[in-house]
Amino acid sequence: MYKSRMRYVTGLREAMTGLAANRVRAVLLAPDVEAVAGEAELDADLLALSKDGVVPESTGALSEAAIQQLRTSAAKLGLDGCVRTIIAACRLRRIPVVFCMSRQRFAHALGLPKVRFSIVAVYSATGAYDEMRTLVKEADRSHVAYNQLLDLSLIHI
């Protein structure tokens, strides 16, 4: 019997597992993730990358420390550490990260109104390539507009 492939996964642990296995093609992230610190320290390079977004000149391959960070349990990293690690790994691999809906709207969009999750990792956009391309273009355009607005506000301070 034919078994269909997963097109997306929800949740921080599943997204981190997919990134470690190099299966993720895009990440949709809710901006209302609660900040919960963990007991494990973030890799310094990943922490800097998740904050300022400067991508080093590389082939997109993650360092051994970064891969180990992805395999660290989500409980040890905490919510804040998981989100920063996912963002940094996506920036290193040039995987689009889109900040979009609230956690509750994610659930409604996927038909799971009682469940709340903060991340959707897209494995395959089969049959929806145009929509995915449009989503990424609009996210890039919004990111540029936000940075311009931020630059203008810093000039007037």
Pick from 39-43, 54-58, 66-70, 132-136: least confident: 54-58
pTM: 0.72
Max mean pLDDT among 30-44, 66-80, 140-154 falls in 140-154
121 has a pLDDT exceeding 90: yes
The owner of tokens 């507009």 is 145
CA 65, CA 151: separation in Å to the nearest integer? 34
CA 109, CA 132: separation in Å to the nearest integer? 15
More confident residue, 9 or 49: 9
Pick from 1-10, 25-34, 59-68, 110-119: least confident: 59-68
pLDDT in the model for residue 2: 60
Confidence of residue 123 (pLDDT cuts 50, 70, 90): very high
pLDDT tens digits, one per residue of 144-154: 898 888 888 77
Pick from 20-24, 33-37, 113-117: least confident: 33-37
Measure Cα distances from 104 to 10, 15, 55, 98, 101 in Å.
Answer: 13, 18, 32, 16, 8
The owner of tokens 């929800």 is 10
21 has a pLDDT exceeding 60: yes
